[in-house]
Amino acid sequence: MASSGKGTVCLAYSGGLDTSCILVWLKEQGYEVVCFMAQIGQEEDFEAARTKAMQIGAKKVEIVDLRREFIEAQCWPAIQANAVYEAVYLLGTSLARPVIARAQVECARKEGCFAVSHGCTGKGNDQVRFELAFYALQPDITVIAPWRNPEFYNRFPGRDALLDYAAEKGIPVSSTKAKPWSMDENLAHCSYEAGILEDPDTTPPVDMWKLTVPAEKAPNEPEYFSVEFTQGIPSKLEYTEKGKPKSVTDAVELFTTANAIARRNGVGRIDILENRFVGIKSRGCYETPGLSMLRAAHIDIEGLTLDREVRALRDQFVTFNYGRILYNGLYFSPEREFLHASIIESQKNVNGTVRCKVFKGLFGVEGRSSPSKLYDLKESSMDELGGFAPSDTSGFISVQAIRLKKYGDMKKEAGDDL
């Protein structure tokens, strides 16, 4: 292996196939390598990954617990905004990248690294997300992206070549040629892509899904729980465990409890085709258990507490653009800061409790209540007037009909049917 003399690189290391091979490759190129690992909720043996990285040449391995920051700084605002990309993807990977990038840059500074590196494919979104974050956080940083280096990608045109290289170099990996899909896991979700999944008409193997039980194998009885929101943020989750009522308020514990409920009831699986920022369509399979339920409950409580026009403006401009900004890796941008301020303003009165039910992959709402509701039971009732004069509606309809009458006349004169 080549001697080190080019300086020290901070590598975002997962312990998986790609980054383990990149670690050895960087050493071959003459770099010292500090491995940075983010504990962001993935079910992984971090000490085993540390041992492996040191065995295959890392100078040091830094493991940072980012779970609380991930939930409070990323997942909670996403729930407040009802953030989503292309109507279905809840941005589990996108949400994690800003906190990982920030911590990696801090690690690089502390360890005296001149560069950061990652294992993101040259065709994917994550390279954009990480590198835009790196350059915003430290504008003079050097980024080494092996999957965009012709020497690297010509040597390793696919995962099979990486598996062969790992076998040659004695790098232990869990990925095999029989199961070549890649995975990315954090507290919010687990994603699956590549390999056999690249054929959009291939059904994902049953044993691929890691987090949730199949809906048909979920319990035969529904499970009930309630979520309390304070200014749009989940602040309490009440549920039953072994016949005893339980309550959690800590952000990490609340999120992990929501995950556990959703996972055992088969909630949160999707299989989609999405449009990557780089212009390529991609097939992704995602498990997003707890976040799916908490977001759905949040949407419901907004129906009781959020003004109609505020909700319409938020849905049209903030929700759509916040999701797009997160997906495209523009978290550290002035437009994200602007939208975030709008999110906070919109959620001031989103307080209340949603009673929920999950059953065989489905989430439902049993009821909701709020101290700051805009709903007036008497006014809305069909059994009493409640201060509302139905006769007033005649004038309302007449005014609304003015332009429609003119439009109808115009169409009639033109001989066009409505």
Q: Which amino acids are annotated catalytic?
A: 18, 97, 126, 182
What is the C-alpha to C-alpha distance for residues 194 and 189, in angstroms, rounded to an integer? 17
DSSP string, 211-234: SS--GGGS-SS-EEEEEEEETTEE
Token pair, residue 60, equals: 């040091």
Percentages of the chain per state (helix, strand, coil), in multiples of 5: 45, 20, 35
**Residue recorded with tokens 């000490």:** 47
What is the C-alpha to C-alpha distance for residues 252 and 257, in angstroms, rounded to an integer? 8
What is the C-alpha to C-alpha distance for residues 110 and 231, in angstroms, rounded to an integer? 37
What is the C-alpha to C-alpha distance for residues 63 and 104, in angstroms, rounded to an integer? 10
2 neighbors 35 (Cβ within 8 angstroms): no
State how beta strands 233-241 and 223-230 pair: antiparallel
- The angle that helices 92-111 and 126-137 make with each other, rounded to 10 degrees, is 40
